[in-house]
Amino acid sequence: MVRGLQERLAAGELLIFDGAIGTMLQRAGLRSGDVAELWNVERPEVVKEVHRAYKAAGADLFTTNTFQGSPLSLAAKGLEDRTLELNLAAARLAREVAADDVIVAGDIGPCGQFLEPLGTLSYDQAVKVFSEQAAALIEGQVDVLLVQTMSDMGEAKAAVEAALSTGKPVIATMTFDLRGRTMMGVSAERAARELHATGVVALGANCGDGPEVVLAALKQMHVALPDFPLIARPNAGLPELVGGEPTWNLGPDDLAAYVPTYLELGARIVGSCCGSSPDYTRAIAAAAREAT
C-alpha cells in the first residue's frame, strides 16, 4: 500500500509533484478546444504514458487528468452526464500507473462559473457540483484530493468542503500575481489563513506567470503559517509562439533554481504546472535532493 501523504509530511519528507498534464497531452495531439478528459476513455494509453513519464522522472504525487472534470465545466462541452465516467477513468488510469509507489491526487479545478454575487452560482450549488466530481475520483481510488488554480476564495472553500466530505486528505492551491494576489483580489496571506482553517493538510500556489509569482505568494503564506507545509508548482514562465507553436520561455533548470528558496519558505511539496514536462520534474527533484 502506498504510504500516505500525511504520514510522509509528518515524517519531514519533501515530496515531488508531477508537472503539466494538459501540456503533455497537447504535445501528443490534443488540439485547442478539445476536452482533455475525454482522452481518459478515448486514448487511455496516452494518458497512462504521461503518468509513466512523470513516475520515471521522480514524481511522488500524480495529478489526475480531471482539471476541468466538474459537472459544470463538462456541461459547457455537453458532457455533464459523463462526469462519473470521465473522472472515474482518470483516477483508475493514474492508480494503475502509480501502483504502490506514487500518491494519486484527484484534481479538482475551477468550475468555470462565478459564485454569487458576481455570478449566479450559489455556494451550496458549488459544493454540490464539486461533491459529484470528488465522489467519482474517490471511487477511482485516489489517495488525496487536490483543489487547485483557484482565484475566488468562496469557490476554493466550496471545493475544499466538498473534497473534505469524502474523508480523504485534501490539499489546495490558488493562483496569484506578482503582488501575491489572485485575480479576484485575494491575498496569499488571507488564502493561507482561510484554507488552513478548513482542515487541508497542505496548501500553496500554482500556475501563474512563472516561479517569481509563486515565490511572492509563498513569502506571504510562510509569514501567516510558518510551520505548515506549503506547495509550490509554478508554470514554466510564459508561452511564446515560435513557428506557430507555443513555447514556454523558462526551462527545467530555471524552475529548479527556485527550489532552495521555496524550501526555505516552508514548501514541502514542489513541482511544476503549465508548460512543463517530466524534464522539469527531474530537474526539480534533483534540486530538492541537493538542497536537503
The residue ranges of every structural domain in the chain are: 5-291
- The residues of the chain scoring below 70 in pLDDT are 1
- CATH classification number, 5-291, choose in 3.20.20.330, 3.30.43.10, 3.30.1370.60, 3.30.450.90: 3.20.20.330
The number of beta carbons lying within 10 Å of the beta carbon of residue 168 is 18
Q: What is the pLDDT of residue 1?
A: 64
Do residues 200 and 172 touch, judged by C-beta distance below 8 A? yes
E strand segments, the chain: 15-16, 61-63, 103-108, 144-150, 170-174, 202-207, 230-234, 239-242, 245-248, 267-270
Q: What is the pLDDT of residue 101?
A: 95
Max Cα distance, the chain (Å): 49
Q: What does the alpha-carbon distance between residue 81 and residue 218 come to, in Å, rounded to a whole number?
A: 38
Q: Residue 241, by phi and psi: left (phi above 0), alpha (psi -120 to 50) or beta?
A: beta
Angle 62-201-73 (CA atoms, 0-180°, nearest 5)?
55
Q: Strand 245-248 vs strand 239-242: parallel, antiparallel, or unpaired? A: antiparallel
Alpha-carbon distances of 13 from 16, 94, 142, 236, 290, rounded to whole Å: 10, 22, 20, 25, 14
- Which residue in 82, 11, 12 sits closest to 292, CA to CA? 12
H-run or E-run covering 187:
none
**Cross-strand pairs, 181:** 187
Please give the DSSP secondary-structure letter assigned to residue 93: H
Q: What does the alpha-carbon distance between residue 61 and residue 92 come to, in Å, rounded to a whole number?
A: 15
- Which residue in 154, 205, 203 sits closest to 179, CA to CA? 205
Please give the DSSP secondary-structure letter assigned to residue 38: G
- pTM for this model (two decimals): 0.97
Measure the N-to-C terminal CA separation of the chain; round to a whole number of Å: 26
Do residues 171 and 4 touch, judged by C-beta distance below 8 A? no
Q: What is the pLDDT of residue 277?
A: 98
Q: What are phi and psi of 265, to 5 degrees?
A: -95, 15
Q: What is the pLDDT of residue 32?
A: 87
Assigned C-alpha cell, 84: 462519473
H-run or E-run covering 231:
strand 230-234
Cis before 71 (ω within 30):
no
